[in-house]
Amino acid sequence: MRKIIHVDCDCFYAAIEMRDDPRLRGRPLAVGGDPGKRGVVATCNYEARAYGVRSAMASAYARKLCPDLLIVPPRMAVYREASQAIQAIFSDYTSLIQPLSLDEAFLDVSNSEACRGSATLMAQEIRRKAFASQGITVSAGVAPNKFLAKIASDWNKPDGLKVILPDEVEAFVKTLPIERLHGVGKVTAARMKGLGIDVCGELLPWRKQDLAKEFGSFGERLWQLARGIDDRPVVVESKRQSVSVENTYDHDLSDLDACLNALPPLLEKLAQRLGRLEGEYRVSKPFVKLKFHDFTQTTLEQAGSPVSPDGYRDLCTQAFARGNRPVRLIGVGVRLDSSHSLLGEQLNLF
């Protein structure tokens, strides 16, 4: 039986801003891009969330929901410094740490001797130390696996702790709303509710093959989650799957020529990011992402396409033909594999 802790900083970027400028406390606050330049909300505090403001929302729309919303630009260097300090605290308890982002991580403390081996006491100490060190609150979930630990960390937010003991798993999962399951979005949730499935316990009568027939490959995962099963280990070292850059334009790119003319600066930034990987990966194939003015989007990748300006122009041309309407965002990138081949041979193609 494993002991997993999921630690999640509460509204991390916004919390850092309120820490550094106490005048921001108590008022709706978001960290993100300029509403006048199609910015996007990176995160927001709980005062803003009360108005319906959420991460990944267009800043202009967030301002409509909350006219008094203050939007400040991100300070990534400051956030990274705070993140590193908090992750250094984790290493006092285990070496099995899997960061998911700057503000959250899984810890496997199954064999840790800290706090007399109590994962609950470790989570309490981590939360206290994070606040003492960085002046922000973090929430934590303790459970026998990653699936339940992540749900638990969100259970009593903000500044909360939820512990799910092994003998509590069955009862906890049985009443868990299906919207809480990772991978169940609005469309899947609506489909499940149409089948009379509102909580995980209502999945239990379903056979695995029937769930697979109804929901494809995700059906088997649903069968496991409904029983609180999650055998995924905490992965200390993860390999990158891709590198990309993208840009949202102040004004829509009206046609294909405008899109093609926007590619060179994106490709230059992409080459710079690849260069920082220091030969750890081999480029496998390029891809292009377009988001059209109506927020629909398409991604096109093609094995064998040259990782070159001409290759990206061809991909962009094909992707544009799928929508054939003004474009608000372009992204370019490459898929990677960890063959330890030098990237230097690829970079000259840019």
Catalytic residue positions, numbered: 104
Alpha-carbon distance values, 306 to 157, 233, 264, 347 (Å): 47, 36, 15, 12
Torsion sign over Cα 195, 200, 203, 204: negative
The token pair at 140 is 């934590």
Task: Report the binding-site residues.
Answer: 8, 103
Instruction: Specify the pairing of strand 70-72 against strand 41-44.
Output: unpaired
Residue 344's Cα: distance from chain center in Å? 30
DSSP, collapsed to helix, strand or coil, labels residue 1 as: coil
Taking the C-alpha atoms of residue 51 and residue 46, their distance in angstroms, rounded to an integer, is 9
Q: What residues contact 152, with CB distance under 8 A and at least 6 apart?
A: 6, 140, 141, 142, 143, 162, 163, 164
Give the DSSP H/E element, type plus range, for residue 209. Answer: helix 208-215
User: Measuring CA to CA, which residue among 48, 40, 38 is closest to residue 69?
Assistant: 48
- The answer to whether the beta carbons of residues 249 and 329 sit under 8 Å apart is yes
Residues of the binding site for Mg(2+): 8, 103
Instruction: Quote the DSSP letter at residue 23.
Output: G
Edge to edge, the sheet with strand 327-337 lists: 242-253, 327-337, 282-292, 297-301
What is the spatial distance between Cα 207 and Cα 203, in angstroms, rounded to a whole number? Answer: 9
